[in-house]
Amino acid sequence: MPRYKVVEIFESINGEGKKAGQLALFIRFQYCNLDCSYCDTKWANTKKSPFNWMSLEEILETARQKGIRNITLTGGEPLLQSDIFALLEAFSKEEMFEVEIETNGSIPLKKFQSIENPPSFTLDYKLPQSNMEEYMCLENFSSVNAKDTVKFVVSDLQDLERAREIINKYSLLGKCSLYLSPVFGKISLPSIVDFMKEHHLNGVNMQLQLHKFIWDPETKGV
């Protein structure tokens, strides 16, 4: 039976994305292959980060018992877990769940999208101020669809310009949902709105991380 390195499981609301404000069950996995400058889950991202082994069936049964429809797999980088394909296939057969994966943009998605009733993907594109842009898997832009989201975490004007460039270069408008997400406390929020107005970014959403306004920004498990 496949086993997974689970850092935490908690109930909260989705802080961002298409289901922002809706209840969700978060399953956070250990380890990430990137090291973004603004990362707020570094405590879960190394191979030495504390975790509990959980079997596939234990994860499914925990989700069933919680009774929450929206499931968010996050990390770390969930797609780096051994046997993650098996877990996604198992979730796809559970009619009560709608599964979203938060992924860092460096992992090819195509094989996971071959699953019947695949999850939705919230794909980060790492902008210059993340210091991780070189690791982005650009082939993912050919396989994202209306079910998926591309998120740009922005720190400054340079990041905003690069996000606009990527949106245009890969014709992402109308292909998937698009979000600009400010690094908390790093960039003026009105400046993002001004940029959107100046460049007529129709179809692009600005979002705030709700959980960082509801709770202290450093609070875990929310």
| pTM flag (> 0.85) | yes
Segment 114-117 long-range contacts (CB within 8 Å, at least 24 positions apart): 115/85, 115/88, 115/89, 116/92, 117/92, 117/93
pLDDT tens per residue, range 92-126: 999 999 999 999 999 999 999 889 889 999 999 99
Which two tokens mark 55? 């079997």
* pLDDT for 220: 67
* pLDDT for 59: 97
- CB distance 131 to 102 below 8 Å: no
Rounded distance, CA 56 to CA 2, Å? Answer: 6
| pLDDT higher than 70, residue 216 | no
